[in-house]
Each structure stands twice: as structure tokens, then as C-alpha cells.
Amino acid sequence: MVKLPTTEQLREISASYNLDLSDADVGSFLGLMEGVMASYDRIDQLVEPAPEVRYPRSGGRRPEPEENLLGAWHYRCSIRGAPEGLLSGKRIAIKDNVCVAGLPMMNGTAVLEGYVPETDATIVTRILDAGGEIVGKTVCESLCFSGGSHTSDTGPVLNPHDHSRSAGGSSSGSAALVASGECEMAIGGDQGGSIRMPASWCGVYGLKPTHGLVPYTGIFPIELTLDHTGPIAGSVEDTALLLSAITGEDGLDPRQNGVETADYLEDLEGGVEGMKIGVLAEGFGWPELSEEDVDEAIREASRVFAGLGAEVAEVSVPMHRDGIHIWNAIAIEGATALMVDGNSMGTNWKGHYTTSLLDAYARGRITRANDLSEIVKLTMLTGRYMRERYHGRYYAKAQNLSRKLAAAYDAALEYYDLLLLPTVPMKATPIPEPDAPREEVVQRALEMIHNTCPFDVVGYPSISVPCGLSEGLPVGAMLVGGSWDEARILRAARAFEGTGAYDAARPEGVKSAG
């Protein structure tokens, strides 16, 4: 039963809109609202449609510390799908921003602790339909708003190669578990690089699909125009398999429009001979960020592609350096409007709203605001200020500039089939100490996104390919194509994977990962 506001509550609302209401005005509006409230009472009586939960499962369990040495598992389970299919025999972990019916979902924050979804996300159903086994939920960063692996309220996720280093974020647990061999595949999410960055730092494959290729239904959103979900895996073939299982429109996600799927396995072994690869100049040499060994590892990867028969040359897209600024305005104001003020679901879009998630998160966010991460606090404070002071002007301008950024990449992709650049400018960074100052916590969460986030803005597909080790830490090369060009990206990644190029001669300090 929906309650009418009190006189004082209505006065507070009117003041927030700069309305001057007399006592008579307030009484009049309260009377008018009573008639409107009847509709809300009727909605309470109606049963909303929900996706069917097709496969039985147990409640799962929290892992013991000795079986969770990387801090990467949030929950363990065994949910078996169809008896056979594309993913038969594969163990798949699901990022904990994705709804799995019956399993607790925390999305990295104590604000959501205790919430258990009653439905499966579309991609969960598709994985099970394809014969995969879901073996657990992976830890992700607090509300998925960090590129480091130190912000989850369950504790940091450790890099499998060096436990003092970050695994990357926000799909930290997914990448760490694939790298450590505890599952063959995992689901990641990507709004600023959160599939590709942890894949790079953990030394696995992570593909951010074209915006809308994979339905986002049943997944905690951040910003509708930036939201992506996709595969992380230990091989290109497994990446292609998982992508094949989860793509296509579901009729419930407004991010999906004119989706073009493909057979990602058909031409996987086709090689790169004759393919044109542009080495994106602006992806290298970021002041105070880029490490020489990382840049050189990617240039060595470009020479490997040339040896495979690709035409490789440097290409310049100056506006790439502005991608971080465009992303900041969209992500900060958009996330504040949708993820914070909109209680994760917002309004003004058609599709399936996970109302139980919205309600649980809203109550937790309001009552436990101090438990939000420092990065989320910074985002919401900045976003609310910009919205109230500048009324959305910069968000709107950034969205308009996103088309100009896409056109700049398109100009390069008119000649080149793919672009190549470092996934992350630096190797995995140290995990901040528990008592680290706020400034360090925020720096370690956001400093690495410069090369990845522009492709969330334009929505183009890209994959992080492990291309070497330096000082014992993985380095990832990123391949980028135009919309719906996942098959070509995967083919190039597979050609590189199959060369044994990790054993090729490397500059001093860059070691083999093979």
C-alpha cells in the first residue's frame, strides 16, 4: 500500500524544485495526489513478468579461506545446464554484478549484502542452454567502479603472478580465476575497460564486444551507453566459444539495436595474411603512465603480426588522447544519474527492470551510504555537483563528442582492418595497504583506463591478448575493430596465440610468457 506524503514531506519536495506553495496549495495537491495513488495500489496487486529460471540449483556456499587464496571467489556452486551443447564440459564463473537465481549477489559492496536474485540474467540462461556448468560467482570491485582490485568490501583480489599486485578491475575475480586455472571461462563487465584491464594484468584473454552485441538484461548497470558484458578465457578458442553462446538480441535490453552476430569459430584459424593492422601511435608514451617495457612488448607484437603476413604500419588518431576526458564526463554524470540517483535501473528505457535489485540496492544505498567505496563517493559527489551546477551540459556535450571520436577511429579503420595498442600503459600496480590514504586508493583505481575507456565510449569491440611477461608480470596487447567485427579480432588474436611468439627474441627486460 503506497502512502500519501505528509504535508512536511510535500513541502520539502516543493522546495527542492524551487516551488513556492501556500498552505492551500499544499492541501490541494495532496488531495489531487490521492487519486493518482490508486494506480500505484493497483500496480501492487499485479504480478510482473520475470524471466523463467530453467535449471535447478542448490544455494551454493561461501568458500573457505584455504580454497580462496586469491580472494577471487564470492560464492561457489555447481549449476549444470543442458546435457550437451557448445559449452559442454566447460566450467564458467559469473561476475558478481550478474543475477544468478538463488545465489547471493553483492556487486562488491556491503550495501547489497543479503540480496538474492530470483531470476537469471539472460547470459546465465544462455550459458546453461549451451551446456556449460556455472561453478560460482566471482568477486568484483565495489559497484564495478574501479580498474584496480582493491575496492571490494570482501577484500582485495590478488594477482596470480604476484600476490602483492593488483589483478585489475572491475572484473578482478573473473580474470584471476581464469589465470589460475580454476575455471576455463568467466563473464566480465566493461564500462571503462573492466574486462580488458584485468585480462591484461592477469595474462588471459578478455573481449569487450560491440555495444549491444551481448544482452545486459539482469546485470547491474552503470551507464546505459557504456555498459558491456563479455567473455574472459584462457584461450582464444574458449573466448570465441563463450561469446558464441551469449550473443544476440533478447528483446529486453534497449542497448541492443540492429545486432549483427557471426560464426566466431568458423574462420578462427584463417590467419592474418593480407590483414592491415594499424599501430595506434597515441596509445603509447602516455606521460607519467606508460612503461617502456610495456610499449616495447606491444611493438614486438606488431612485428610478430608482420611476420605472419599482415601489413603493419603506425597510424595516428590524435583524438584518442581525448577519449579519457569524454569518458569521464559520461561516466561520472551518467553513473550518478543511473547507478546512484536512479538506484541502478533509472527510467526512460524499455526492457526488463530487475525490481527486487533496484529496491534492495536503494534501501542499502540510503542507509549505508558511508559503506560505499571512495571511488563511488567521488563519482557521486562530482556527478551531483556537475548536474546541479551545469545542468547536464557537459554530459550532453561529451555524448555529442563521442560521435566525433568514433569518426576519428573510423577514418583509421577505413584503411586498417584492426588497430593495435597497449591494453594498459603499465604493468600491474601494487595493491594499496588497508590504511592507504584516499588519494592513493583513488589513483590505483583509475590511473590505468586511458587506452581502454575510449572504446567503451564509441562501443567498438576490442580484445586484450597476452603478449609477454616483464619482471614476472603479464603485458597485454589490445586489438580493436569496427562495430560487429569480433570474428576478425578473434582470428587475429588466434594467429598471434598460435605462433609461439612468446619465445621470440625480446628486448632486455621483456621475458617470455609461454
For the annotated catalytic residues, the residue numbers are 95, 170, 194
Pure H helices in 210-354 = 236-246, 292-307, 323-335
Query: Which residues is 479 bridged to in the sheet?
Result: 420, 463
Residue recorded with cell 578478455? 206
Phi/psi at 402 (5° precision): -60, -30
> What is the three-class DSSP state of 476?
strand
Query: What one-letter code names the amino acid at 104?
Result: P
For 276, other C-beta atoms within 10 Å of its C-beta total 15
> What is the three-class DSSP state of 183?
coil
How far, in Å, are 23, 36, 289, 358, 367 from residue 3 at the CA level? Answer: 20, 11, 54, 19, 20
For the chain, count helices (H), then strands (E): 14, 14
The set of residues, in sequence order, having a beta carbon less than 8 Å from that of 109 and lying 6+ positions away, is 142, 143, 152, 153, 364, 371, 372, 373, 376
The set of residues, in sequence order, having a beta carbon less than 8 Å from that of 233 and lying 6+ positions away, is 178, 184, 185, 186, 204, 205, 239, 241, 242
Query: Which residues is 233 bridged to in the sheet?
Result: 185, 205
Q: Kindly give the interhelix angle for 374-390 and 438-446, rounded to the nearest 10 degrees.
A: 80
> Is 149:162 a contact under the CB 8 Å cutoff?
no
> What is the three-class DSSP state of 256?
coil
How far, in Å, are 401, 417, 458 from residue 461 at the CA level? Answer: 19, 12, 9
Query: Which residues is 474 bridged to in the sheet?
Result: 469
Grid coordinates of 188 = 566480465
> Is 50:119 a contact under the CB 8 Å cutoff?
yes
Give CA–CA dist 52/62, Å, rounded. Answer: 25
To the nearest 10°, the Cα dihedral for 492, 233, 510, 303? Answer: 0
Q: Kindly give the interhelix angle for 486-497 and 292-307, rounded to the nearest 10 degrees.
A: 90
> 294: closest CA among 419, 422, 193?
422
